[in-house]
Every structure is written in C-alpha cells, then in structure tokens.
Structure 1
Amino acid sequence: MAKKVQKPQKCINVDEARELHDNWCKKRGKRLQKKLGFEDAREFHWSVAELEEYLAYVKQESEEQGIKDPGIRVYLGAYSESKCKMKKGYSTLFFAATGSRPGASGKDGGDPENNYDIPAFNRGGSGNPPFDY
C-alpha cells in the first residue's frame, strides 16, 4: 500500500481561493476588459501528468547542473496578436525553472535566480469564456 501524502502547508481553502479570484476579477479583470475590448484569459489548465513530467525534467536537469533545490517561478505573459489563435493577444502563464548553482546566492541573496538552461513550460488550456473559481 502506498504511503499517504500529507496536505501541503501552503494549501488554501475554497473560500480563500474564491476571494483571491473574485478580487482579481473585480479589481483587475473589469479594467482589463474595458481597456482591451474583450474578456482576457484568467485561468489556465495543465494535466497532473504534464506538470509531473515538467517537474521531473527540471529535477533531472538541475541535478545534472549541481543544483540541489530547484524551484519553479510562475510568470504572466501575453501572446502577440499574430501568434494568438483568436488574434487578440490573450494572457498566458508559463513556468520557469529556478535554482542557484553551487556558490551562487540568488537575487539579493534570497530568491534563486532563473535557470535559463532549462526551457520554460507553457501551452496550457484556458476557458473561453474563462471558468470562475
């Protein structure tokens, strides 16, 4: 029988997640929609298998580079209109591997630097219109 995995400490409950999403929609989403002239993407989807595959790749490549504790940084991005299927330039998210090489201390001695030797991860799905949390 497999060992039961404990809930991570950084999990938030449904009410907290809804509050975060509602705040974004009320404080940013309406302004963006007015400025852009369309409802932009605001939620993105990857399967667990896709995420596990990328995380395993980051771990493997980082280990080969001598990075002991790699991480992932999440960035907001936007497609250029010419590369967007709907020709609007929708928002996207992408993941970037992080990890300071031995002897480096990261940005300002704290957060690890981006590892540009490992490709970023993108191309998730998004609801149109977006799904509310």
Structure 2
Amino acid sequence: MKKFILFIFGILLGIAAYYFYLKITTDGTDVTIVAPKGLITPEEAKTLDQAFNSRHALISDSIVKRPDNRSAWWSLEDMKNYLKYAENESKELGYNMDGVRVYLGAYPTEAEVGYTTMFLVPTGVENISQGNSSLFNMLPPGGGDIPGGSGLNDSSGGNPPSAKYPQ
C-alpha cells in the first residue's frame, strides 16, 4: 500500500512539474517569456527623448519650419504580420533573417503630414552551404540589410506629430 501511495504521489508531482515548470501550452509551443536585450526603463526613455529635443528643434524650426514627426506607431497585428512576411520573403531571397533595422527617413514632398518617417527593413545573412571541416567554423557576421527585402513604412505619427515621449 505504501508503494502505491508513493507511486500516485510521484505521478501527481510529475504532472505538477510539467504544468508549472515547463509552461507548455496545449498545442506544444513553449510560452516562456524572455526579456529581450536592450530593455530600458521609462525613465531612460525620457532621458533619450529629452536628449533628442535640441536636435529635433534644430531640424523642425530651422530647416522644416513646421512641426515634424517625432515618433512612429504600428499596430501589433501589423508588426507580427510584417515579421512573418519579411522572414518568409528573406528565405525566398536566400537569406536567414536575424533581425530588423529601423531607419529614419523623410517624405520628399510637403504634401505629407510631417516630413520625418521611420521604416523597418529586414536584416540577415545569406543562406549559403559551407562545407568546412575546420574545428573553428567561423560564422558570417549578421545584421546586414537583406538586398531586395521589403521594408515597412506607413506608420501613424505622433498625436500631434511633434508630441514627445510619453504620449
């Protein structure tokens, strides 16, 4: 009887460990949340935003001569769709996508609301077969823009466009 109780206890303990420690969903995907490198606090974001004020004022007041965009916004759905699209397109172009680069840009005409825009482009390394028997197989450096990869623009600007952090 004592062995049977230990057996049942072991099964219950195994189920609890599976449920609480492995954090596996019913479809088998891992739902562990990992904080990305480079997270900053809201205070650090405010410091970065304030450090940009003089640069923004110089451009907006001296060159553009009207309020200009200070931020870009994409919906979560658009971001997820873009990442899936860019990763698939990168594979078709023969690249392994390893990230996204954000560029500052400007619309070429005054017809747009605010000159400044921000756009994303996929980055990665070319997917090449490397036959190397060396013990120290050097991987190519990552992070280059993928030639021919589609970028994502068409974000919403700040409200108003010149609004500072936080909005």
TM-score, structure 1 as length reference: 0.80
Identity %: 28
The structure 2 residue matched to 1:13, chosen from 25, 41, 54, is 41
Work out the number of aligned pairs and report it: 124
After TM superposition, give the deviation of residue 101 of structure 1 in Å.
0.8
Secondary structure of 1:68 counterpart: strand
Q: Is the 8 A contact 1:62 1:70 kept in 2?
A: no
**4-13 or 90-99: bigger deviation:** 4-13
After TM superposition, give the deviation of residue 112 of structure 1 in Å.
3.1
RMSD over aligned Cα atoms: 2.1
Distance 2:34 2:75 in 1: 21
The structure 2 residue matched to 1:80, chosen from 108, 122, 129, is 108
Larger-Rg structure: 2
Gaps in structure 1 of 5+ consecutive residues: 104-108
Structure 2 counterparts to residues 1-133 of structure 1, below 5 A: 2=25, 3-25=31-53, 27-35=54-62, 36-81=64-109, 83-84=111-112, 86=113, 90-103=115-128, 110=141, 112-127=143-158, 128-133=160-165
Q: Is the 8 A contact 1:97 1:116 kept in 2?
A: no
Gaps in structure 2 of 5+ consecutive residues: 1-23, 26-30, 129-139
The one-letter code sitting in structure 2 at the alignment partner of 1:10 is G
C-alpha distance 62-129 of structure 1, shift in aligned 2 (>3 A): closer
The one-letter code sitting in structure 2 at the alignment partner of 1:130 is S
After TM superposition, give the deviation of residue 40 of structure 1 in Å.
0.9
User: Over residues 5-35 of structure 1, what are the superposed CA-to-partner deviations in whole Å (9 max), with x where a residue is unaligned?
Assistant: 122231100010000001101x201111221
